[in-house]
Structure 1
Amino acid sequence: MTAVMREPVSLPTRQRPRPPLAGAARSAASVIPGAARTAGPDIPGAAGVSLRDLLDPPRTPGRVIAAFPAALYLEMRTAAEPRVLAVVCSDAVRLPNSVVIAAGSRDRPLRSIHEGEEAWAGDGLVEVGALRVRVRRWWDPSPTLGPVALARLTHGVRELEAALADARFGLAGHPDPHLLAGRCADGDLAGAVEAAERIVGLGPGLTPSGDDVLAALLVALRALGGSVQHGRTALWLADWLGAAVTADAETRTTTLAATLLHCAADGQASAEVIAVLRGIAGLEPLAPALRRLLAAGHTSGADLAFGLLAGCRAVLTLSLTALKGHRASA
């Protein structure tokens, strides 16, 4: 059994013989000229546990939907989420649906892969062209915070507000992200869903700004709602809001963003988002974690940070309101 780890570790590359294919996988591979001949040696990787149902079963075909020096995004031909699998270098942003390889982007391990190429995932392997990544470790993309005092959360929110004062948001000037944040803090599910549905898929890029905001908001509600006293309303809000924004996400946003919304609804986030949540909870320094998050993408880091702030404020407000009600009835 492979181990579940919080952080991927670098492992030496091992060359292993290619395992025989079976059933549909053998038939499918036989129509790809040179599929078995061009594969290179195995590169070890660490996969997010959200990918177990994709990587443990027999191989599934897919294709490369985006290729960058530090990351590949593969859309797999499966109806279940996550439908998009990311193969990323050790120094790239580690999304919850990532397989992290033991090589940095300076080594250019992904240079031969291009958009549109065929890909395979399953039997513990990810294969694209000559690239063969074998999963050796698993990492958990769900934040584990432990108990968080409301006073600590209050301090974390203030730090986050100060750090984001001059941040550049992708939806700057758009009213709905702020409306969504306010509705969540009020515990107004209908109002929150209405505002959220207007920003699903809003903005350019592989992960539109509106989806980044929503994903971080959902993770903050779930992670902190389960860690603070009287956080049940935040968890309830995360359940219903997550169900609403993922119901038809595949038709309203990019394939990658839809997968990340599904991950967020399950409480799963990138390593960079998890580090900020741990900083807010007082488990590690917040400032360096925020710098790493804000450096992600053109505006993705700032959009994620905005969503985290909205979620933290909502958890704090809802929990304080519940605490007052508990004291009044005591």
Structure 2
Amino acid sequence: MDVGHVVAIGWRAAEIIGDTAAEVRVVVPLSASIYIAAGREVLWLGGPSDLMHPRAILLSALPDASARARDDRLTVPAPRPIPWRPETPTGGAVAASALRLGARRLGATAAAGGEPEGFGAWLMRQPLPFPLSVATKAADALAAACAADDAPGAAEAALSLLGLGLGLTPSGDDFVGGAFFARATLARLGAAEAAAWSRAAASVRAATRAATTPISATLLGDLLDGHGWSPLHELVSFLVANDAARAVEAAARLTRLGHSSGWDLFAGFVAGAS
């Protein structure tokens, strides 16, 4: 079936499907995107204006998801553009300090971003909605461990949040992912103990197999390695550059992701970076 042509592709998707026409299998057809499998790897198809991600394949026109069913076969056409790959932050201790300070400021002014969803309520010190209401202590513990650069403590707190919430990517997974994305970024800047956080990420990754959905486990695994949606990477770049106005814009783009995923990621990022 015709799916148009590829207008953008993430670097991980490009590695997985190569540079020739590739047959993929439909895993979950949604109204705004289609999750697909290429071998054992999860990717997804989106429309031309969707956000970028290492696993995203954006098409000139999104195929009609209502006409697709699980295990249907699609062909991702070639040729394809140069893969999207975000810039790696640089700047060492100075950049890390700017990132931390900027994240704290964003967290303190998060209410300006509108009504929070999911763990956004935690960020604003509001009661968490059901079914997240049991997670306040674990979220506090994860944030405290990150602030202390306590990687084992962060991993322990994260385990109780995995799989908590509804949907393909539960809120707890996104919150944990945002926090560990921030720690991976700080480790790259030399401001967190890279080996310890790598071990902590590995323990969380191992637990996801039994704790959450396969799709969420894949996306969380990327975040544990410091790879995520384009607004997250843009947020890092603008914070490191002390560009407060554009950082606010990136945060707003992030919080519009999904029903609550963007807020969950943002709250986790602030928890991990502050």
The TM-score with structure 2 as length reference comes to 0.81
Identity %: 27
Mapped to 1, the partners of 2:180 and 2:38 lie a distance apart of: 25
Unaligned runs of 5+ in 2: 123-127
The one-letter code matched in structure 1 to 2:104 is R
SS state at 2:268 partner: helix
Deviations 1:80-131 (A, max 9, x none): xxx211111122233331112234xxxx5435642314235xxxx62xxxxx
| Cα pair distance change 1:77/1:250, threshold 3 Å | farther
Q: Structure 1: which 5+ runs fail to align?
A: 1-38, 127-131, 314-330
CA distance in 1, matches of 2:9, 2:60: 11
Aligned to 2:254: 293
Determine if contact 2:33/2:65 at 8 Å carries over to the other structure: no
In the other structure, the counterpart of 2:176 is 214
- Whether contact under 8 Å (2:99, 2:236) holds in the other structure is no
Deviating above 6 A after TM superposition, structure 1's stretches of 4 or more consecutive aligned residues are: 57-61
Which of 186, 197, 200 is the matching residue for 2:148? Answer: 186
Partner of 1:262: 221
CA distance in 2, matches of 1:177, 1:302: 14
Report which of the two has the higher share of helix: 2
Larger Rg: 1
Quote how far apart the aligned CAs of 1:220 are: 1.3
Deviation per residue, 1:293-315 (Å, 9 max, x gap): 111112111100011101212xx
State the 1:177 CA deviation: 1.5
**Alignment equivalent of 1:118, drawn from 61, 67, 72:** 72
For 2:19 and 2:97, the matched residues in 1 are separated by 46
Secondary structure of 1:199's match? Answer: coil
**Alignment of 1:97 onto 2:55:** yes
Q: Would you say the 8 A contact 2:6–2:78 is kept in 1?
A: yes
1:164 and 2:122 correspond: no
1:232 CA displacement: 4.0
Conserved in 1, the CA contact under 8 Å of 2:35 and 2:44?
A: yes
Deviation at 1:214, TM superposition (A): 1.7
Aligned residue number for residue 89 of structure 2: 145
- CA 1:282–1:110: 2 relative to 1, 3 Å: farther
CA 1:272–1:154: 2 relative to 1, 3 Å: closer
| Partner residue in 2 for 1:277 | 236
Separation of aligned partners in 1, 2:23 and 2:209: 19
TM-score, normalised relative to structure 1: 0.68
**1:249/1:266 Cα in 2 relative to 1: closer, same or farther (>3 Å)?**
same
In structure 2, relative to structure 1, the CA distance for the partners of 1:304 and 1:237 (3 Å cut) is farther
Corresponding residue for 2:125? none
Q: How many residues align?
A: 254
C-alpha contact (below 8 Å) 2:138/2:158 kept by paired residues? yes
Cα distance per residue 1:167-200 (max 9 Å; x no partner): 3334724221221111122233332221111111
1:93/1:113 Cα in 2 relative to 1: closer, same or farther (>3 Å)? farther
**Number of the residue aligned with 1:311:** 272
Is residue 118–residue 263 contact of structure 2 (8 Å, CA) maintained in 1?
yes
- Structure 1 residues 63 and 301, CA gap change in structure 2 (3 angstroms): same
Aligned mates of 1:301, 1:55 — CA distance in 2: 27
